[in-house]
Amino acid sequence: MFITLTCESYGKVNNDGTPADPAAYDYTRAARDAIHFAALFDRFIRNLRRVLGYEAQYFGGVEPQRRLAPHVHLAVRGSVPRPLLRQVLAATYHQVWWPATEDARFEGDQLPVWDESSGNYLDPATGEVLQTWEDALDVIGPHDEPRHMARFGPKFDAQGVLAGSKDANKCIGYLIKYLTKQVADCHVPETDAQRAHADRLAEALRYEPCSPTCANWLRYGIQPKNPRPGLVPGGCKGKAHRPEHCGYAGRRVLVARKWSGKTLVDHRADRKAWLVETLGLEVPDPARYTWSQVTPADPDYLPPERRLLHVVADRARWKAALTEARRRAGPLTVEVSATGEAA
């Protein structure tokens, strides 16, 4: 089956993916859903396997919709009845039990300072040690609500596909179309409204904690897990905060370990055979070569900086040869638009 799963709605959007009412659009929930999308997908696979009673195998790719929310195209081996899939989606959720972040305690120039002697961050005004990550979690009581709950949207697409059919080729195009691009490069803003929408999402992600070790916890008076000097709120280097990732920090390619039934050695052999065939080369005979480690005493020894230049030159030459071979093979003719005109 070929399945497409999306996030919930954060407000009505136009055909170009921009909010119809930017003031009412829930950017905070959109940012948190994007950050925790990978965990939500993992929960869905666990639930699906429990219901089916076997270890369902899948291959998927994550890409953004026009509204910049992540969604996943998924090929699942076997067939799943739509009513059953709808029940699994309704029962799938991911709760995030993290400390509250409603009130910003440190902003502007008033930021926590690192104390080298104790290995903690201190309040710049009082010198008090900030609450540790473990203590902040202990404050969460049995009657508290989770900081965030991520769910898939009620709308999904599921269709049966036969191997070797025209639909199978089209679905494969969906899966591979965006895998060589950054998330934000999939839908490049072309209008002022689209650029403003992307900027508002990036601003919502700026101070949103992306993990227990995120520097943004200092903004709310909490030391991140495993603190270290140099952390600044709004300066976390995690992928989720970079505009080119739109909040999604997980893997773009989602593959079950037993999807292909091959080992890593088999995959390497397949890639090598494909490359040799694409470049029109002869299959090399391993018996022609012998390998030995080069030492500084050898006459053809090269210093590291020269070896690095040779490696760069070889890689550039190989890439140019592969690009030319693909050009001679002709362009891809299969339509691979996964979303059409809709967001």
**Is 341 a residue whose pLDDT tops 60?**
no
pLDDT by residue (tens digit) across 275-323? 888 888 888 787 888 888 888 889 889 999 999 999 999 999 999 998 9
Which one, of 117, 38, 27, 43, lies nearest residue 72 by Cα? Answer: 38
**Is 336 a residue whose pLDDT tops 50?**
no
- Give the span between the Cα atoms of 39 and 249, in whole angstroms: 11
Which residue type sits at 156?
Answer: F
Tokens at 37, concatenated: 């999308």
**Is 38 a residue whose pLDDT tops 90?**
yes
pTM, full prediction: 0.78
pLDDT, mean of residues 23-34: 96
Domain boundaries defined on the chain:
2-255, 264-329
pLDDT by residue (tens digit) across 110-136? 999 999 999 999 999 999 999 999 999
Count Cβ atoms below 10 Å from residue 100 Cβ, excluding itself.
13
pLDDT by residue (tens digit) across 58-101? 998 898 999 999 999 999 988 899 999 999 999 999 999 999 99
27-35 vs 37-52: helix crossing angle, rounded to 10: 60
**Is 264 a residue whose pLDDT tops 80?**
no
| Unique residue bearing structure tokens 């209008």 | 191
Q: How confident is the model at residue 178 (pLDDT cuts 50, 70, 90)?
A: low
Which residue type sits at 324?
Answer: E
Tokens at 173, concatenated: 């195009």
- Give the span between the Cα atoms of 115 and 231, in whole angstroms: 12
**Is 339 a residue whose pLDDT tops 50?**
no
- Give the span between the Cα atoms of 272 and 30, in whole angstroms: 42
The more confident residue out of 331 and 31 is 31
The more confident residue out of 181 and 273 is 273
